[in-house]
Chain A
Amino acid sequence: MLPLSQALSLGALLFCIIALLYMLLQVRHLPHQRDLATPRGRWWEGIVYAFTKALLPWSKESSTRHLVSYLAGVVFHLSTFFALFLFFLSFWLKSVPASLKLWGSLGLWSGLLCGFGLLLKRIFTPHLRSLSYPDDYFSNALVEAFLLVSWISLREGEFPPYFYFIAVIFFLYLPLGKLRHALFCLYARAVWGSFFGRRGVLSLWGAKRTEGR
């Protein structure tokens, strides 16, 4: 029999998955215009590009110009994935190995610092503040809280009930607010890659496509 906190967190995770799947199905059922123009490039090449080369810090002007913010974002996201991994691991792990404690703490702390930096940036940069709503601040803070309890759990070598309670809030909120970009960003990136790949604008190997003669 699972402790209440763990059972609740699994329930919240189930809600999160069902809600995201429901949204995904809703979106899939919306009208969609098939592109009838003869392609110049390959759509799949664009998708591969979108998930590989496009992620490199020097591939987009926005990331090169704002390298610190971009890298902070990458670290913040990687730490969040690691915290999620820890959540799943916590159901099986009897004790936390020393190596995981060390490297995991380092990763989570990096994520915490980066996330906090991004939160401060959002608060103190006027143009970013003009783009932000309570949801943006809350989502960041919620992930920060999740990273923090993950780090505390790692340090303590056990996963206390509050780790699971924060996980409950995290999973319940994920499909409702900005955090649902976890799902839609992947979809949007694939759409972006496919669109520009088909038109021969994005190319994996650098050579741009010219129309067949």
Chain B
Amino acid sequence: MEALANQRLTLERLRKRITRRLAILVNSCVHCGLCSDSCHYYLAENSNRFIPAFRTDRLSSLFRRYHTWLGRRIPFWVGAKGVEELSIKELTDAVFGECSMCGRCAINCSVGLDIGFLIREARKILAELDQVPGGLQSTVDKAVTTGNNMAITEEELIGTLQWLEEELQQEVADRRAKIPLNKVGARVLYTLNPREPKFFPLSIIAIAKIFYAADEDWTISSTNFDATNYAYYSGDDQAARTIAGRLVEETERLGARILAVTECGHAYRSLRWEAPNWLGKRFDFQVKSILELIADYIRQGRIRLDSSIHSAPVTLHDPCNLVRYGGVMEVQRYILRKAVSNFVEMHPNRERNYCCGGGGGLLSMSEYAELRLKAGKAKAEQIRRTGAKVVAAPCHNCIDQLMELNKKYKLGIETKTIGEIVADALILPSRRVNSAIESASKKG
């Protein structure tokens, strides 16, 4: 009885879900299979079920069954399958557990199909059927009900930031160095990944130090600080709208001109590219990755860096949602060339990079953890080939996955955010003044 109700519901959702883009894509796959080895899951496991086209065919076969002439009459001929033949468990595993929505197959598809988009459409249907894996769903629920995905209270955050402010003041030896909270009229509203105040506070100090050195007019909201949006991954557009809407409202309330997104791939994608569509409006402020701001500071001479601090080889991981789906490709390279003396590129890189395996919300779905780490093999090998000792990863999800890959594949690397690398290489304004005096006295 329940199965029948589920089937009806799926069918109904499928009917509602068909957008122009979806119809074009499901009509275009020619089953050439050339996408197979662009997928890190297929490379690691070499199994048919990990071929991107095979994964999306579950959705396409439903479309063919109900929306094509041959599919309605001779379903076996075109591989059309009805809802009754669809295993919800299989579909859930395929689109949630066996795909990080990295889009590498989309870039490499010989036809030009955005397979990541198809996977998210399938996730949307499953979200409406309440089939989102528990870990991911509870992350979304926490964000919706508490305002951030780790349920950090305002008091907790304020306490942490006050402690970090003291650390910052000690580090820059300046009592005027601040982490401004809820400042109306600040130019930049900086957002966090809740993992930062909870587990990686050093990355907040790093950015605060950069803002201090650049003399930026910035602030953090004590209530709406979470840049992440796991509803993007779960396929729940209503929740995604709620989560993104809070930050947009906060930016408007504080009158910031720039909403700066912390180093987090999917947060950047969600706020920069998806949020205007979820909310149905264009923003009056700019959404920028913190990397873009840092690059601006370097170009404008607002901060200066001493690259000799980092002499060990440093390589760069390109987070899929920031690079392939976000278009932020060159600023991180520009920054690293200024901040380290031995920058080594991974190959392939930029939009052709391999996913680390930590995207798609997979870090929150413990039932797929083993497969996630296996799928990270391509990235681990890529890192090993560079011989780098430090991996710069401008994404906290990627950093978590890279740390696990480091253990599993014994890479012997250290993972850092770009902000942390830049903060270490900063020539602070006081030192700048001192060195100017020194060089003037030498010349004199």
Report A150-188 CB contacts with B as 1/0, cut-off 8 Å: 000000000000000000000000001110110011011
- Are the CB atoms of A69 and B32 closer together than 8 Å? yes
By a CB distance below 8 angstroms, the chain B residues around A3 are none
> In the complex, which of the residues B25, B112, B323 contacts A50, with contact meaning CB atoms closer than 8 Å?
B112
- Are the CB atoms of A31 and B19 closer together than 8 Å? yes
- Are the CB atoms of B78 and A131 closer together than 8 Å? no
- The stretch from A84-92, A96-104, A105-113, A205-213 touching chain B is A205-213
By a CB distance below 8 angstroms, the chain B residues around A196 are 107, 351
Q: Is A2 an interface residue (CB 8 A)?
A: no
Q: B232 CB to closest chain A CB, in angstroms?
A: 14
Q: Is A94 an interface residue (CB 8 A)?
A: no
A181 to B19, CA, bound (A): 18
**Beyond A36-B282, A208-B329, is A188–B31 a contact (Cβ under 8 Å)?**
no
Q: Which residues in chain B, 306-360, are within 8 Å of chain A measured between CB atoms?
A: 323-331, 348, 350-352
> In the complex, which of the residues B23, B277, B283 contacts A35, with contact meaning CB atoms closer than 8 Å?
B277
Closest to B274 in A: A37
Q: Is A5 an interface residue (CB 8 A)?
A: no
Q: Is A53 an interface residue (CB 8 A)?
A: no
By a CB distance below 8 angstroms, the chain A residues around B110 are 60, 62-63, 70, 73
**Beyond A27-B20, A36-B280, A185-B111, is A133–B348 a contact (Cβ under 8 Å)?**
no
> In the complex, which of the residues A36, A126, A138, A208 contacts B281, with contact meaning CB atoms closer than 8 Å?
A36
Closest to B106 in A: A192
- Are the CB atoms of A41 and B327 closer together than 8 Å? yes
By a CB distance below 8 angstroms, the chain A residues around B282 are 36-38
Q: Which of A23, A40, A184, A193 gathers most chain B CB within 10 Å? A: A184
By a CB distance below 8 angstroms, the chain B residues around A65 are 34, 37
A90 to B66, CA, bound (A): 39
> In the complex, which of the residues B25, B107, B323 contacts A188, with contact meaning CB atoms closer than 8 Å?
B25
- Are the CB atoms of A128 and B33 closer together than 8 Å? yes
- The stretch from B46-54, B161-169, B362-370 touching chain A is B46-54
Q: Which of A26, A34, A131, A213 gathers most chain B CB within 10 Å? A: A131
> In the complex, which of the residues A35, A130, A210 contacts B330, with contact meaning CB atoms closer than 8 Å?
A210
Q: A139 CB to closest chain B CB, in angstroms?
A: 9
By a CB distance below 8 angstroms, the chain A residues around B21 are 32-33, 191
Closest to B295 in A: A210
A201 to B353, CA, bound (A): 13
- Are the CB atoms of B20 and A188 closer together than 8 Å? no
> In the complex, which of the residues B28, B48, B274, B295 contacts A130, with contact meaning CB atoms closer than 8 Å?
B48
- Are the CB atoms of A184 and B33 closer together than 8 Å? no
By a CB distance below 8 angstroms, the chain A residues around B23 are 26-27, 30
Interface pairs (13), CB distance under 8 Å: A31-B20, A61-B108, A69-B32, A131-B31, A133-B79, A138-B77, A176-B69, A181-B30, A191-B21, A191-B112, A200-B329, A202-B351, A210-B330
